[in-house]
A and B are shown apart, each in its own frame.
Chain A
Amino acid sequence: MKIAIIRYNAGNVRSVTNALNRFGVEPIVTDSAEILNSCDKVIFPGVGEASTAMKYLRNKGLDEAIRGIRAPFLGICLGLQLMCRHSEENDTTCLDIFPLEVKKFPARDKIPHMGWNNINDLKGPLLQNIALDSHLYFVHSYYAEVSENTVATTNYIEAFSAALQKDNFYAIQSHPEKSGDVGQKILENFLSL
């Protein structure tokens, strides 16, 4: 199985690579559209700021490449947000895979939402055999609204999309690669798709 991790300027490539290595999988880290299209799975990690990341993706032509991928695709954290239509973070037009607005959490509680929180309303193959109320590790100041693409929800200030799915595109707001055994199981689910 060939697993690609998209190389760009906002990836926590090392953490995701380490998590895959724990399954005995050695991912290909690449920014080549051709290689991405030849892989069985593609992971789109993300730690960073939306506008800087999108600018880089556009300059490299990776925005078009990502939209064209037909293999199972997993966006993580900022990856999920970049897969939405638009982010309030520096008013950034994103990839529009999910027709959703990414909003900043209202300042009724501490921001970022940082730490372990539970997930609910679990649907679909990514969250298969994950117990309700399992805790995952989140670090983010922006969130995607709950929509028909939502396959897991979490509550922090607002209910938001903890995971999304549309066709072959999956996305998760938390960091499964840093979420202990539960996160490891979610990655295993993705690798089994």
Chain B
Amino acid sequence: MLTKRIIPCLDIKDGRTVKGINFLDLKDAGDPVALASRYAADLADELVFLDITATVEFRKTLIHIVEDVAREINIPFTVGGGVSSIKDASALLDAGAEKIAINSAAVRNPGLIDDMALEFGSQAVVVAIDSKLMGDEDIVHVRGGRTPTERKTLLWVKEAENRGAGEILLTSMDHDGTKAGFANDLNRKVGSLINIPIIASGGGGEMIHFEDAFLIGKSDAALAASIFHYNEIGITDLKKHLYSKGIPMRLS
């Protein structure tokens, strides 16, 4: 049976792993290659690297980190942050990434999703979405979550799927950094609209939050950063707990 995935996210700034509280107030959480190795040994199912400053500062993701990580670990990883062309994506795939996450660039130029799906296959295309509740609508934000757009999250996920996205990485900016649980209502709503996997992101602070992300939010994967970076929850311990609750998990 296909297992649910636990995905540590490494937000990269200037070659170091950082985690923001509500995307601001960055703290240093260490060397990304060392962290990646630790997570792989601890049975992380996959990793996500986001060069969180890339869009804002117009920097490209650091290829050499991707190369170093790919040399060290033997589990899959996704890289995103500032990817705005086939050329950017191709360089990261060549460096050893399995999948490329696109966010702001896809909102600016939705055809990039189609182009990437044709060039690399849908399975390599992750559309990352930063969503925030405004009034009673979930609205897509760009530029590291700073800028609201005209797009409604529920319409954008559907469009992304139709254009060839292979996966949705959905970050709830209302939940991110709170450690109060994932956006299960939003994730379940999105899941009922599309037929591609959803990675729940933002709000994971305790084991029960991950349980809820799968059992209530119906997510395919759950992503978190600081609780793993600072060893608040061990990944193997978390997976054993989830398995004991009947959630399919890879344990060896």
B-contacting residues of A (Cβ < 8 Å)?
Answer: 12-15, 18-19, 21-22, 47-49, 52, 78, 107, 109-118, 134-135, 137, 139-141, 155-156, 175, 177-181, 183-184
Contact = CB atoms under 8 A, between A and B. Distances in A.
A50 to B, nearest CB: 9
Nearest to B67: A14
A112 B221 contact: no
B1 A117 contact: yes
Interface stretch (B80-88, B113-121, B182-190, B228-236): B113-121
A110 B195 CA distance: 5
Given A18-B70, A112-B196, A137 B75 contact: yes
Contacts of A155: 1
Contacts of B195: 107, 109-111
A14 B98 contact: no
Contact of B76 (A140, A156, A175): A175
Contacts, number: 109
Interface stretch (B16-24, B30-38, B89-97, B138-146): B89-97
Which of B74, B119, B250 lies at the interface centre, i.e. has the most chain A CB atoms within 10 A of its CB? Answer: B74
A135 B3 contact: yes
Nearest to A140: B123
A12 B93 contact: yes
A113 B67 CA distance: 26
B94 A137 contact: no
Taking residues whose C-beta sits less than 8 angstroms from the other chain, chain B's interface range is: 35 or more
A177 B96 CA distance: 11
A175 to B, nearest CB: 7
A189 to B, nearest CB: 15
A137 B46 CA distance: 9
A12 B98 contact: yes
Given A18-B71, A115-B220, A155-B1, A178 B76 contact: yes
Nearest to B71: A18
A156 B119 CA distance: 25
Contacts of B45: 115-116
A175 B94 CA distance: 16
14 contacts: A18-B71, A47-B121, A48-B121, A110-B196, A112-B167, A115-B2, A115-B45, A117-B1, A118-B1, A137-B75, A139-B166, A141-B121, A179-B75, A180-B75
Contacts of B74: 19, 22, 177-181, 183-184
Contacts of A19: 74
Nearest to B221: A115
Given A115-B5, A116-B2, A139-B98, A49 B120 contact: yes
Contact of B40 (A109, A110, A115, A180): A180
A112 B76 contact: no
B2 A15 contact: no
Which of A47, A113, A117 lies at the interface centre, i.e. has the most chain B CB atoms within 10 A of its CB? Answer: A47
Contacts of B220: 110, 114-115
Nearest to A183: B74
Contacts of A22: 74
Interface string B186-219: 0000000001110000000000000000000000
B122 interface: yes
Q: Ordered nearest first, which 3 A-B pairs have the shortest CB separation?
A: A14-B96, A135-B250, A139-B123
Contacts of B10: none
B70 A114 contact: no
B170 to A, nearest CB: 14
Which of A116, A156, A178 lies at the interface centre, i.e. has the most chain B CB atoms within 10 A of its CB? Answer: A116
B121 A78 contact: yes
Contacts of A175: 76, 98
Nearest to A154: B2
A153 to B, nearest CB: 13
B107 interface: no
